[in-house]
Amino acid sequence: MSDKKVALIIGAGDATGGAIAKRFAREGFSTCVVRRNADKLSSLVSEIEEAGGEAHAFGCDARKEEQVIDLVETIEKDIGPIEVLVFNIGANVPSSIFEETARKYYKIWEMGCFAGFLCGREVAKRMRDRAAGTILYTGATASVRGAANFGAFAGSEHALRALAQSMARELGPLGIHVAHSIIDGAIDTDFIRTNFPDRYAMKDQDGILNPDHIADNYWHIHSQPKDSWTFEIDLRPWMENW
């Protein structure tokens, strides 16, 4: 078994997921970054490697059980033991309850919750044998408060939070730290810049979340001593309404 420390980032996008991967790479972790299309990870892998870190890109549909099982087995066999799992898949798709389709509702639940179950289960099996590890789930405002026209998203995020709570109670006594983060506010992304320019203009006032600072909080949670584990944090800009 390799003595490398491995951080597996499911949903390593251009903002939060990528920032988390870079943060753990700076701490000496071999980062395994995952999206459905591995080609979209080339710039992130290059950035990590140019900074002196190690990164491996994987394509995986985290809703598919066989693909998740194969992903975890491949990483454990070829790269090293997974010490940290970050599940960072979002499914923030608005729709009125009058227009929501069963197919899209189910797909959002698959992305936002079911995939989190599959990834958490497979990694937890490995962490149990080592009596150590950290599993971090990224949530949203919808984890605790459902907004109009976001019934599917709120349902999946509430479910993911409940899954994390149950896993934390079951796995904590086994030495596995499970935590959930509520990201309550707009994040500095191209999507916010393009679609919500007024909100993005608040960046100069620290009015939107910086992905690097979110990543710092994830690193802090992983670094906590066992006598002071956090289950949940909520992160929001100072001017965000609660």
204: in domain: yes
83: in domain: yes
Quote the pLDDT of residue 69.
98
241: in domain: no
Residue 241 has pLDDT above 90, yes or no: no
Q: Which residue has the tokens 């959930």?
A: 180
pLDDT band at 4 (very low <50, low <70, confident <90, very high): confident
What is the C-alpha separation between 235 and 140, in angstroms, rounded? 9
194 vs 225, higher pLDDT:
225
Quote the pLDDT of residue 2.
62
42-60 pLDDT, tens digit per residue, is 999 999 999 999 999 999 9
Which domain CATH number covers 180? 3.40.50.720
213: in domain: yes
120: in domain: yes
Q: What is the number of structural domains in the chain?
A: 1
Quote the pLDDT of residue 43.
96
242: in domain: no
pLDDT band at 13 (very low <50, low <70, confident <90, very high): confident
pTM: 0.95
1: in domain: no
Q: Give the mean model confidence (pLDDT) for residues 201-226.
A: 96
Q: Which residue has the tokens 């940290």?
A: 84
199 vs 74, higher pLDDT:
74
Q: Which helix (H) or strand (E) holds 8?
A: strand 6-10
Q: Which domain holds residue 41?
A: 6-235
Q: Give the mean model confidence (pLDDT) for residues 96-113.
A: 96
Quote the pLDDT of residue 18.
97
| Token pair belonging to 230 | 């956090």
141-200 pLDDT, tens digit per residue, is 999 999 999 999 999 999 999 999 999 999 999 999 999 999 998 899 888 888 889 989
Residue 84 has pLDDT above 90, yes or no: yes
Residue 120 has pLDDT above 60, yes or no: yes
Q: Identify the bridge partners of residue 58 per DSSP, sorted by sequence position.
A: 34
Residue 1 has pLDDT above 70, yes or no: no
136: in domain: yes
